[in-house]
C-alpha cells in the first residue's frame, strides 16, 4: 500500500510540475506586459484577443455630431436587384440570399445619387451602429488633404518632424507625410511576434496610442521603399492632424466632413482610453450606414456634395487612384500580391470591369466602401466577418456588372 501511494504521489507531482511551470511563465509574462505597457492593455487582450465589429462598445468614444443640414438620398428602390445572381460556394444564389448567408450586416447601392438597393441583415437594421475598421484610414487621408487645403500642412513632402518635435534629432523624423500615406516608410512593423507583443495587437488594444507611436522609432532597410502595411502610420498622421489644426481629429472630421456631407445621425470615433483621449486612427469610426456611404458619394462627385465643395478635387485625383499597370514587385509577400489592387494614399484602386478605375476604402472583415465612377455607383458593405467570400472586391465588381445588365 505504501509503495502504491508513493507511486501515485510521484505521478501527481509529475503532472503538476509542467502545469505549475506554465502558470509561472504566464504570470511572469503578465507582469512584464503590465510593466512594459499597462494593465488595461493586458486586460483587453486577454478579455477579447481578436477584434470585433462590436468593439465600439469596449472603447470610450468621442462624439461626432450630425449635420444641421442633413442630406437625404432619394429612395428609388428596385426590388428586382435582390434577385441578381451571385456566385457563392460553387453555387449561384440571389443577392438577397447571398447577403444573409455571408455575415453581411448592411449592403447599400447608390446609383445616380439615389438608393436603389438597401438591405440590412443578421441582426442589424437601419438604426444600428457599424464600425469602420481600416476604412477609417481612407478618412484620415481625406483629413490630411483638407488640412493641406486649409493651410495647416504645407504638402505631403514635409518631414513628420515638422510636427512631431520628439523626432527632430532622430532618423525617423525624416520620414515624409507621403511615405506614411503610401504605407512605404522604413518604420518597423512586426505583426508576427508571439502572444500579444505583435504590432497589430499593440496598435489596436493599447490604451495610450499616441505615446506608443512616439516611442516606436526603430527603422529598417528591409522594406526598401515597397508597400508594407503599418498601423503606426495612421497614428502618426493623427498626431500631425492634432498638432497642425489645434483640434482633436474627431472635431476636425466633424467640422470638415461629417457635417458637410449631411450626416443624418451622430457618429463617434473610438478612443484608446478616457485618460489618453486619442482617436483610434487605424480603425475606430462608428456610424450609421446611410451616412457613411455619403463619403463615397462625395468622393464620386470629385469632392462636391450637399451643395458645396468639401474636399479639393485635385487631392482626390492624386490620393485615391494609383498608377496602372501596377508594379507587382512592390506588393510581393503582402496581402495584395497578385490581386491587381493597388494602394495610394490609404485608398485602394482596381481596374473597373467597364472602364477606368474603381476606388475602395477597405477594412477588416471586409468592411468595404466601393466607388465606381464609370458606373456612377457607390456600394457599402459591412459585416461581422468576411462571410467566407474569397474576394469581396471581385464579387462587388460582378454585382455591379450584373446590375448594369439588368437595369
Give the CATH number for residue 230: 3.40.710.10
In a domain, 157, yes or no: yes
Give me the sign of the Cα torsion angle 377, 146, 155, 280.
negative
Rounded to the nearest 10 degrees, the angle between the axes of helix 232-245 and helix 135-149 is 30
β-pair type (267-270, 285-287): antiparallel
Q: Let me know whether 190 and 339 are in one domain.
A: yes
Q: What is the pTM of this model?
A: 0.93
Q: Let me know whether 254 and 385 are in one domain.
A: yes
Half-sphere exposure at residue 68, Cβ-oriented, CA atoms within 13 angstroms? 1
Q: Let me know whether 294 and 363 are in one domain.
A: yes
In a domain, 43, yes or no: no
Q: Let me know whether 256 and 342 are in one domain.
A: yes
Which among 272, 269, 286, 299 is positioned nearest to 382, based on CA atoms?
Answer: 286
Tell me the pLDDT of the chain averaged across its residues: 94
Q: What angle do CA 100, 73, 396 make, to 5 degrees?
A: 40
Q: Give the pLDDT band of residue 16 (cuts 50, 70, 90).
A: low
pLDDT tens-place string over residues 233-263: 999 999 999 999 999 999 999 999 999 999 9
Q: Let me know whether 201 and 334 are in one domain.
A: yes
In a domain, 327, yes or no: yes
Q: Let me know whether 15 and 112 are in one domain.
A: no
Which residue bears the cell 522609432? 217
Q: Let me know whether 80 and 154 are in one domain.
A: yes
Domain count, the chain: 2
Question: What burial letters (b/e) apply to 146-174, b meaning 16+ CB within 10 Å?
Answer: bbbbeebbeebebbbbbbbeebeeeebbe
pLDDT tens-place string over residues 289-345: 999 999 999 999 999 999 999 999 999 999 999 999 998 899 999 999 999 999 999
Q: Let me know whether 13 and 141 are in one domain.
A: no
Q: What angle do CA 375, 377, 381 make, to 5 degrees?
A: 140
Residue 346: domain span: 59-406
Q: Let me know whether 18 and 91 are in one domain.
A: no
Supply the DSSP string of 320-353, one letter for each residue: H---SS--GGGGTTSTTTTS-EEESSS-EEEE-S
Q: Let me know whether 155 and 246 are in one domain.
A: yes
Q: Give the pLDDT band of residue 8 (cuts 50, 70, 90).
A: low
In a domain, 136, yes or no: yes
Amino acid at each position: 500500500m505504501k509503495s502504491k501511494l508513493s507511486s501515485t504521489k510521484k505521478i501527481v507531482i509529475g503532472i503538476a510540475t509542467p502545469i505549475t511551470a506554465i502558470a509561472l511563465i504566464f504570470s511572469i509574462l503578465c507582469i512584464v506586459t503590465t510593466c512594459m505597457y499597462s494593465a488595461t492593455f493586458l486586460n483587453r487582450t486577454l478579455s477579447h484577443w481578436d477584434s470585433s465589429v462590436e468593439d465600439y462598445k469596449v472603447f470610450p468614444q468621442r462624439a461626432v455630431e450630425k449635420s444641421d443640414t442633413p442630406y437625404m438620398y432619394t429612395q428609388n428602390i428596385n426590388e428586382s436587384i435582390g434577385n441578381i445572381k451571385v456566385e457563392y460556394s460553387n453555387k449561384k444564389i440571389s443577392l438577397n440570399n447571398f447577403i444573409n448567408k455571408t455575415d453581411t450586416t448592411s449592403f447599400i447601392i447608390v446609383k445616380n445619387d439615389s438608393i436603389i438597393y438597401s438591405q440590412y441583415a443578421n441582426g442589424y437594421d437601419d438604426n444600428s451602429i457599424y464600425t469602420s475598421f481600416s476604412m477609417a484610414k481612407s478618412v484620415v487621408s481625406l483629413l490630411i488633404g483638407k488640412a493641406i487645403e486649409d493651410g495647416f500642412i504645407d504638402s505631403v513632402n514635409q518631414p513628420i518632424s515638422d510636427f512631431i518635435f520628439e523626432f527632430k534629432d532622430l532618423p525617423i523624423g525624416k520620414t515624409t507625410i507621403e511615405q506614411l500615406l503610401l504605407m512605404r516608410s522604413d518604420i518597423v512593423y512586426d505583426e508576427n511576434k508571439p502572444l500579444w507583443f505583435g504590432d497589430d495587437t499593440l496598435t489596436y488594444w493599447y490604451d495610450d496610442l499616441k505615446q506608443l507611436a512616439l516611442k516606436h522609432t526603430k527603422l529598417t532597410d528591409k522594406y526598401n521603399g515597397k508597400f508594407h502595411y503599418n498601423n503606426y502610420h495612421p497614428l502618426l498622421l493623427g498626431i500631425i492632424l492634432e498638432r497642425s489644426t489645434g483640434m482633436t481629429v474627431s472635431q476636425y472630421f466633424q467640422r470638415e466632413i461629417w457635417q458637410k456631407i449631411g450626416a443624418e445621425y451622430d457618429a463617434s470615433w473610438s478612443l484608446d482610453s478616457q485618460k489618453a483621449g486619442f482617436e483610434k486612427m487605424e480603425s475606430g469610426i462608428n456610424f450609421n450606414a446611410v451616412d457613411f456611404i455619403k463619403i463615397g458619394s462625395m468622393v464620386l462627385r470629385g469632392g462636391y456634395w450637399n451643395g458645396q465643395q468639401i474636399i479639393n478635387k485635385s487631392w482626390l485625383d492624386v490620393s485615391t487612384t494609383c498608377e496602372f499597370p501596377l508594379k507587382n514587385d512592390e506588393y510581393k509577400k503582402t496581402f495584395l500580391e497578385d490581386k491587381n489592387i493597388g494602394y495610394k494614399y490609404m485608398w485602394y484602386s482596381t481596374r473597373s470591369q467597364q472602364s477606368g478605375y474603381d476606388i475602395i476604402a477597405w477594412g477588416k472583415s471586409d468592411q468595404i466602401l466601393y466607388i465606381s465612377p464609370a458606373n456612377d455607383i457607390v456600394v457599402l458593405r459591412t459585416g461581422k466577418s468576411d462571410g467566407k467570400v474569397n474576394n469581396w472586391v471581385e464579387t462587388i465588381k460582378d454585382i455591379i456588372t450584373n446590375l448594369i445588365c439588368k437595369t
